[in-house]
Amino acid sequence: MPHMLAKQVFAACVVLSVAKLATAQCMGEWVAGSGTPGFTLSVSPSSSRFVGRMMTWDPDGTGPQPEVLIAAGTFSEAFGVPANNVAAWDGSSWRALGAGANHTVQSLTEFQDELVVGGQFTSAGGVAASHVAAWNGRSWRAFGAGLPSLDAHGLATFNGDLIASNGYTVNRWNGTVWQTIGTASSPIYGLGVYRNELIAIADFQTIGGVQAAGVAAWNGQSWRSLGTNSGSIARGITEYRGELIVVAGAVRAWNGSTWRVLGPNSPDGRYLGVYHEDLIVGGDMRVVGGVPTYSGLSRWNEVQGWRAFPVAFYTFDSIQEFRGDLCIGGHIYQQLPQYSAFVRWSEPAICAADFDCSGSVGVSDIFAFVNAFLSADPIADFNRSGGINVVDLFDFVRVWYSGCND
């Protein structure tokens, strides 16, 4: 559209917006059940089969093979495909990773282009592997004598090293043997990396001889506390918009110097993820944003605050975005005819300027945005600055005029 015509159309829309046009919301839907890729639990949510961890992995790095979703937990089949406790999904079909692991897989990471799994197993692909093993796309291998405990809950790659938590200890693989780099006063629940430091979370009070209330950082040489998060047991961990996020009685963010609780009425939870620029929190939640809910899954951003997902869940253990969908794993009940250990939330991946969610960018989007802007609707905070002002208007027009190509 010529620039002058665009200006004229926009001016006309400003005038006509007083007609109180409806502001559309782009809605998603849950995808689950027979015929959809997933893990079917045959009896009830009390079944021991579940998907407890997920991540994306590229089998050949920069090669031509596409990225796949890795799902791990306790199961012997992935929607009809025999797979022992770990499986891969390419977006249309599931496949096993060799013979898999002989017991529960609890954690996942990537190390030197290989998929690394940790858990309660003692062998992977028929190879003796004490609780930690690597899959290179063709075969499994062990990491020396492995780790002694049944609980390898955390795996991470830090400064080029493979790190694994094992009960009360955090351990580094030096290429030959495992070395303990820290011992905590309680079992480690998870590991992550934030601003070039390794992060460990749990309900410990000390780690590596340092006082630390549930969250601590290791810089490669020593441990330090990340202040006090003023919460309870720290469980979930992720990074969102430049801040370290943990769940500890509420959802809390660390900006490198201080903690803050995200928004009023922050829910508790256990698992974290990011989807379509929203922070995703899951767990046994009964209140989200001050509103009673049985969803067990919520999303948050600075503009809209906390919102629950529709439909009830039983319980779940993992969150991962994959090819535009939000994948959820665990024991999941959706008021469907069956229980499932894997479902997907799918919502349109549209241009931000498609404000009326029609699937294309046109004049109707300007009407919808101007109506929201004049009504001070929170969704008119187009640049998510935390306030609605003329900059949002200009940003919207710029993206709309470009057709989302800039």
What are the tens digits of pLDDT across the range 262-312?
877 777 778 899 998 889 988 766 666 666 665 678 888 886 788 877 765
Say whether pLDDT at 118 is over 90.
yes
Q: Does pTM top 0.85 for this prediction?
A: no
Q: Average pLDDT, stretch 33-55?
A: 55
Task: Output the 3-class SS for the chain.
Answer: CCHHHHHHHHHHHHHHHHHCCCCCCCCCEEECCCCCCCCEECCCCCCCCEEEEEEEECCCCCCCCCCEEEEEEECCEECCEECCCEEEECCCCEEECCCCECCCEEEEEEECCEEEEEECCCEECCEECCCEEEECCCCEEECCCCCCCCCCCCEEEECCEEEEEECCEEEEECCCCEEEEEEECCCEEEEEEECCEEEEEECCCEECCEECECEEEECCCCEEECCECCCCCCCCEEEECCEEEEECCCEEEECCCCEEECCCCCCCCCEEEEECCEEEEECCCCEECCEECCCCEEEEECCCEEEECCCCCCEEEEEEEECCEEEEEEEECCCCCCEEEEEEEECCCCCCCCCCCCCCCCHHHHHHHHHHHHCCCHHHCCCCCCCCCHHHHHHHHHHHHHCCCC
Say whether pLDDT at 260 is over 70.
yes
